[in-house]
Amino acid sequence: MWRSKQVWGWALYDWANSVFATVVIAGFFPIVFKQYYASHLSIEESSFWLGSANSLSSLIIVVLAPFIGSIADCGGIRKRMLLIFMLLGVAASLLLYPFFVSEWYWVLAFYIVASVGFMGANVFYDALIVNLGYPENLDQISGLGYGLGYLGGGLLLAACVWMSQNAELLGFKNTIDAVLLSFVLVAIWWLLFSLPLALWVEESESVSSRLSIAPSRILSETLQTFKSIMLNKTVAIFLLAYWIYIDGVDTIIRMAVDYGLSLGFDSSALIMALLITQFVGFPAAILYSYLGHRIGIKNALILGLMVYTVICLIAYSMESAQTFYLLAVMIGLVQGGIQALSRSYYALLIPAERAAEYFGVYNMMGKSAAIIGPVLMGAVSWISGDSRSSILSILPMFIIGGLLLLKVKEHREVI
């Protein structure tokens, strides 16, 4: 498995695209938006609009995911569809650099498009895992992808942080110019390191003649997928649990820096915390997959959700950057593991020949959850005037998601 070019080509796409999630979504964009583009808005209002943009991009994927998954399975074009969405995300990331754009709403529009490209490509990236030929090692392969994603995202973020801290030495007029250039570097990195997947990952063409890609047939197949899921109690309960708990995970990814800024923490301290999460997350995502193999995926997932519950409680009362660093370590230990084990668990439950279609539903569930969390945090902060209370709004997601997981069978009991 570890010598397979297919496995490494697939996993390296996580290295490629995670820089968008790390440098743009979680890192610099919330800072640039709040302190540069929307500096004339109140803290609570800018949080609301950023949360709404994150929610809208997720809503678009919710609508598109089942249909584009059906198209890819009908035509056997998962890899091509991935590359199309990747190019959309790369192009929109370049447009985040303010060549002529200065209004905050235009910047949010490009951010939404880039996020759609990022998430849309992931529908097909997740689905391609079933083409790798190692069903008994999906936990480790999925963990390898997330681990490389954390490492790649962390390395580019570290480089961008260094560049922003030495802006004048590098010839920039000010720090913000260096930070804005990071969006261009993200686009270049994302495009360059997508090449191994494009060149090395082979997709079976056996499904290409299974169906036509007529719109009516695509709709019929999508509805059939939902029907099949509803008839499979294990898959249905797992997806419901995933829909709830991944909302909390994704919301913390997207809103942690904004939350820290709202509490008055320095942006450099928040970026340092994000770096800690990335470099802790690299080995943790891989090791967590082995933990799931040893104690059971369900138990490993529930353990991670318990850690997230504690994280929310600590975040509500934290007063110092040191506490934020502690939370960064805790998040790094479980975040990638939860994501990787959720993906590999689902891959073992679904028919391989309809993987993109089923992962369309999986991503639809995940991204529909991500509609709620960010806008909920922003709305609670704006309405209450208390940024701290916003973090408690996502606490029930981890508790309810964990309780539902208790009703899900281990995949080794199912297959």
Mean pLDDT of 374-385: 81
Tell me, yes or no, whether 326 lies in a domain.
Answer: yes
Can you give the pLDDT at residue 211? 45
Q: pLDDT averaged over the chain?
A: 84
Give the CATH number, domain containing residue 295.
1.20.1250.20
pLDDT above 70 coverage of the chain, percent:
87
Find tokens 């490009």 and name the residue.
110
**Helix locations, 232-296, DSSP H:** 233-262, 267-295
Q: Rounded to whole angstroms, how far apart are CA atoms 336 and 342?
A: 10
pLDDT at 408 over 90: no
Tell me, yes or no, whether 172 lies in a domain.
Answer: yes
Can you give the pLDDT at residue 369? 64
**Integer CA distances (angstroms), 179 to 35, 75, 159, in order:** 12, 41, 11
Tell me, yes or no, whether 4 lies in a domain.
Answer: no
43 neighbors 387 (Cβ within 8 angstroms): yes
247 neighbors 370 (Cβ within 8 angstroms): yes
Tell me, yes or no, whether 360 lies in a domain.
Answer: yes
Can you give the pLDDT at residue 269? 86
- Mention every residue, 6+ apart, whose C-beta is less than 8 A from residue 85: 116, 117, 118, 120, 121, 123, 124
What pLDDT, in 10s, does the model give residues 111-168? Answer: 999 999 999 998 889 888 877 766 667 778 888 888 899 899 999 999 999 999 898 8
Residue 206 binned pLDDT confidence (cut-offs 50, 70, 90): very low
14 neighbors 149 (Cβ within 8 angstroms): yes
Can you give the pLDDT at residue 183? 95
The DSSP annotation for 71-123 comes to HHHHHT-HHHHHHHHHHHHHHHHHHTS-SS---HHHHHHHHHHHHHHHHHHHH
Q: Rounded to whole angstroms, how far apart are CA atoms 323 and 319?
A: 7
Q: Rounded to whole angstroms, how far apart are CA atoms 59 and 226?
A: 18
Q: Pick from 70-84, 169-183, 197-211, 297-311 the range whose average pLDDT is largest.
A: 297-311
The number of distinct structural domains making up the chain is 1
pLDDT at 208 over 60: no
Residue 204 binned pLDDT confidence (cut-offs 50, 70, 90): low
Structure token digits, residue 38 = 């929307």
Can you give the pLDDT at residue 207? 44
- CA 24, 68, 61, 352: dihedral to nearest 10 degrees? -80
Q: Which domain holds residue 396?
A: 11-201+213-414
Tell me, yes or no, whether 207 lies in a domain.
Answer: no
Q: Pick from 64-78, 79-93, 341-355 the range whose average pLDDT is largest.
A: 79-93
Tell me, yes or no, whether 1 lies in a domain.
Answer: no
pLDDT at 285 over 60: yes
Can you give the pLDDT at residue 245? 93
Mean pLDDT of 66-84: 77
Tell me, yes or no, whether 44 lies in a domain.
Answer: yes
Of 110, 104, 142, 106, whose CA–CA distance to 125 is shortest? Answer: 142
pLDDT at 272 over 60: yes
Tell me, yes or no, whether 400 lies in a domain.
Answer: yes
Higher per-residue confidence, 379 vs 153: 153
Instruction: Tell if the pTM clears 0.85, that is, is over it.
Output: no
Higher per-residue confidence, 95 vs 415: 95
pLDDT at 100 over 60: no
